[in-house]
A and B are shown apart, each in its own frame.
Chain A
Amino acid sequence: MSEVDTTGEPVQGAAGGGAAARQTRPLLEVDDVVMRFGGVTALDHVSFAVNEGEILGLIGPNGAGKTTCFNVMTGVFRPTTGQVRLNGRPLVSRSRHQITRLGIARTFQNIRLFPEMTALENVLVGTDARHRTSVPGALLRLPRHRREERAGRAKAHELLDFMGIGSTANQLARNLPYGDQRRLEIARALATEPALLCLDEPAAGFNPAEKEELLELIRRIRDRGQTVLLIEHDMRLVMGVTDRIVVLEFGRKIADAVPAEVRSDPKVVAAYLGVPDDAA
């Protein structure tokens, strides 16, 4: 069975180290990636790096290729050419669950929870990414199964509490209010113990107060040791939280700088002027 075990290795970046201990070592490198669908070029020689411990914003108008970029990184699409590396290890042509185990987790632009499972179970599926129990272990209730179940449950509850939805543990995911579903998705992604957490428009559909709360949460996630890659449509939101911003337009990278610089970059301004900002 095609499963590469990566659980033995320490997950870099997941172990402590707050904002103060920020390094500049690249955690993820997107290296000259081209993605074509038929005649459409969704990503055109895109390269950028995510440094360990930072919050990187990936922005751009609709259809700029942000989600495609996520999909290439997480193994949903195989790039036409180019490579993606995590901690120097190539990811292209690895299967999706292997990439997750190597340390990338994501959320989805349109929520994709397991609707008929409880919130707790959703998060448990995430923790299972680090577990190894299979059919024999579960049937015989081997010690590892029990250990993993216990640890998984504790961790899942902890993450639900961290996201502020601890009281929903036993509700079906589909019955949760919209905002809680978004939070649950983040909890589920965190449960896989990612080095890099990719959030795809996590604030979509939030009101300003909720957005503010979410920003605070993203900072706290970074302070737990996760590097965060944030896709966002809403420029103002990204400005407040990111350390650095990469801007895509029509599949090409047009800027890669700190927020203040990006804001005054004429190319970025031009890109955004043409498109109404309707992220909210």
Chain B
Amino acid sequence: MTSTGPGGGKARQGNPVMSALRTADNRRLAGLSAMRSRWRAIPRPVRILFGVAVAVFFYLLPNLAIPLIPTPDTNFASVLFTVAVYVLVGVGLNVVIGLAGLLDLGYIGFFAVGAYSVAIFGSPASPLATKYPWLMLIPIAIALSMVSGVILGGPTLRLRGDYLAIVTLGFGEIVRLIAVNWSITKGQIGIPSVPAPPGHWGNGDPIFGIIDTRPFYWLALTVVLICMFGVKLLESSRVGRSWLAIREDEDAAELMGVPAFKFKLWAFAIGAGLGGLSGALFASRQGFINSNSFDVLTSMLFVAAVVLGGSGNLAGVTLGAVLISYLPERFRGFADKRFLVFGLALIVIMIFRPQGLIPSRRRAVELEDRKREAAEEATANV
């Protein structure tokens, strides 16, 4: 029934004695929460106005000639599109890892399901092509990813945490291998002519074309903002509270009436849906996909995106996703070494700053040092 380990370091009890050992982190967190309360003290209209200004800034980003930021070797707008897709991946994976506390190493699998859904049902080159318009294909992609999330999560979410990680890893590889071997997905040959969103400019050029990639970026940015808003709504509701409670102490949460399995499955399905959506956007922009885009290393990169910035809060996840997708594009010499660098960064961050660069006030304890008041439950319970 329970997914917690038998005895291993999973003691989750808060212990007042421990607070003394947390001083350094507390100070940092205190500073952050002071900033947060100052932010909350600003009148609501001003805050909304500020938010709008930030959003407008991001919409205008490809048009602004800001020195140093643009990428010399690649079209800046298309880099921004990639960044936005990674942020969307981060937002989705954050629901699974950051909020519900489930380590999903096969997130690339859902990304692939979304991408291939659009390609298989939308590309005229596919034997399973349909006449559905692009706007129909996206919900189909999301639905199929969510279904695959539920199929995977149903039997596995009762496993202990580290086993879940391995099963999801296996799932990610199975999806990739199917993409490699299945006659419909055609492995490395791939599927061309993946449909793009509809629409034409006045002169007959498609809005979502190859020359000007800014509309793609604007579309992705819009999707990101909507999804972030949705996740925020969930966070501030019974759903989000349940996720946090599960993450902090699943047994206690269940005993307080939280239907843990149901909400873990929701987290998995929502994460999968967002992963599928990002995959679908990716495929639409590329116009062509093959099995090379969905390897395990990329899946690890996704995890790094969530963990490096600070899982559990959208600002941290956004920062992580931006770092991981933007740096290799900005510094091309770095691209070949990016897995190496981000792998090392994962170790360094976990050792020195497990809450990530921007810690969530909630995340800290989950990842923080604790004396093992271990065994206690086991022994005390008998």
Whether the pair B238, A128 counts as a contact (CB closer than 8 A) is yes
Is the beta-carbon distance between B16 and A112 smaller than 8 angstroms?
A: no
- Please give, as numbers and ranges, the residues of chain A lying within 8 Å of B262 by CB-CB distance: 1-3, 134
**Contact present for B19 and A175 (CB under 8 Å):** yes
Closest B residue to A134 using CB positions: B239
Interface residues of B in 249-293 (CB under 8 A from A): 249, 251-262, 265-266, 270
A101 at the interface (CB under 8 A from B): yes
Most buried by A among B12, B240, B248, B258: B248
**Which residues from A are CB-within-8-Å of B257?**
97, 100-101, 126, 128-130, 192
A residues in contact with B259, CB < 8 Å: 1-3, 95, 97
Residues of A near B373 (CB, < 8 A) are: 110
Which parts of B325-382 form the interface with A (CB within 8 Å)? 361-366, 373, 376-377, 380-382
Are B377 and A121 closer than 8 Å at their CB atoms?
Answer: no
Q: Of A68, A105, A131, A177, which one neighbours B16 at CB under 8 angstroms?
A: A177
Query: In whole angstroms, what is the CA distance A130 to B16 when docked?
Result: 30
Q: Bound state CA distance, A108 and B376, in angstroms?
A: 12
Q: Please report the C-alpha to C-alpha distance between residue A18 and residue B244 in the assembled complex, in whole angstroms.
A: 36
- A173, CB-defined interface residue at 8 Å: yes
Chain A residue with the shortest CB-CB distance to B241? A125
Asked whether A117 lies within 8 Å of B245 as measured between CB atoms, the reply is yes
Judge if A63 is at the interface, Cβ distance under 8 Å: yes
Q: Is the CB of A139 within 8 A of B234?
A: yes
Residues of B within 8 A of A172 (CB): 361
For A67, list chain B residues within 8 Å (CB): 380-382
Judge if B145 is at the interface, Cβ distance under 8 Å.
no
**A141–B381 CB distance below 8 A:** no
Smallest Cβ-Cβ distance to B17: which chain A residue: A178
* A105 cross-chain contacts in B, Cβ below 8 A: 255-256
B237 within 8 A of A: yes
* Bound form: Cα–Cα A113–B274 in Å: 31
Residues of chain B with a CB closer than 8 A to A3's CB: 259, 262
For the complex, is A40 an interface residue (Cβ under 8 Å from B)?
yes
CB within 8 Å of B: which A142-178 residues: 145, 148-149, 172-178
A106-B255 in contact (CB<8A):
yes
Q: How far is the CA of A108 from the CA of B251 in the complex (A)?
A: 11
Number of interface residues of B (CB under 8 A): 46
In the assembled complex, which residues on chain A have CB atoms less than 8 Å from the CB atom of B244? 114, 116-117, 121
Write out the residue numbers on chain A whose beta carbons fall within 8 Å of the beta carbon of B237. 133, 137-138, 145, 149
B354 to chain A, nearest CB (A): 13
A76/B230 in contact, CB under 8 A: no
Tell me whether B13 is interfacial, beta carbon within 8 Å: yes
A125:B239 contact, CB within 8 angstroms: no
Q: Mark A64-76 against chain B: 1 for CB-CB distance below 8 A, else 0.
A: 0001100100111
Chain B min CB distance to A236 (Å)? 22
Q: Which residues does chain B contribute within 8 Å of A106, judged by CB atoms?
A: 255
The answer to whether B362 touches A63, judged by C-beta atoms less than 8 angstroms apart, is no
Contacts of A117 in B (CB 8 A): 241, 244-245, 248, 362
Is B129 on the interface with A (CB-CB < 8 A)? no
CB pair A1–B265 under 8 Å, yes or no, is: yes
Point out the residue from B19, B230, B252, B265 that lies within 8 Å of A112, measured CB to CB.
B252
A135 is an interface residue with CB less than 8 A from chain B: yes
Give chain A interface residues in 32-88, CB to chain B under 8 Å.
Answer: 37, 40, 42, 63, 67-68, 71, 74-76
CA distance A71 to B270 in the complex (A): 33
- Measured CA separation A45–B334 after assembly (Å): 69
Report the minimal beta-carbon distance from B367 to chain A, rounded to whole angstroms: 10
Measured between beta carbons, the chain A residues less than 8 angstroms from B253 are 114, 125
A96 within 8 A of B: yes
Q: Taking A110-B380, A174-B19 as contacts, is the C-beta distance between A97 and B258 under 8 angstroms?
A: yes
Chain A, Cβ-Cβ closest to B12: A112
Q: Closest A residue to B26 by CB, please name it.
A: A175
Closest to A178 in B: B16
* Contact between A128 and B382, CB atoms less than 8 A apart: no
User: Is A16's beta carbon under 8 Å from chain B?
Assistant: no
Tell yes or no: B242 within 8 A of A by CB: yes
B14 touches A173 (CB 8 A): yes
Minimum C-beta distance from B352 to chain A (A):
20
Asked whether A12 is an interface residue with its Cβ less than 8 Å from the other chain, the reply is no
Determine whether B233 belongs to the interface, using a CB cutoff of 8 Å to chain A: yes
The closest CB in chain A to the CB of B234 belongs to A138
Contact (Cβ within 8 A) B13 A138: no
- Judged by a CB distance under 8 angstroms, whether A115 is at the interface is yes
Most interface-central of B241, B361, B366 (chain A CB within 10 A): B241
28 A-B residue pairs with Cβ-Cβ distance under 8 Å, sorted by A, are A1-B259, A42-B382, A67-B382, A71-B381, A75-B255, A76-B251, A101-B257, A108-B252, A110-B376, A114-B244, A114-B245, A115-B13, A116-B366, A117-B241, A125-B256, A128-B241, A129-B257, A130-B257, A131-B238, A135-B234, A135-B266, A138-B233, A138-B237, A138-B238, A145-B238, A149-B237, A173-B14, A174-B19
* Known A2-B259, A114-B253, A145-B237; further 17 A-B contacts with Cβ < 8 A: A1-B262, A37-B382, A67-B382, A76-B251, A105-B256, A110-B376, A114-B245, A114-B249, A116-B364, A121-B244, A128-B241, A133-B238, A137-B237, A138-B239, A138-B240, A141-B233, A173-B14
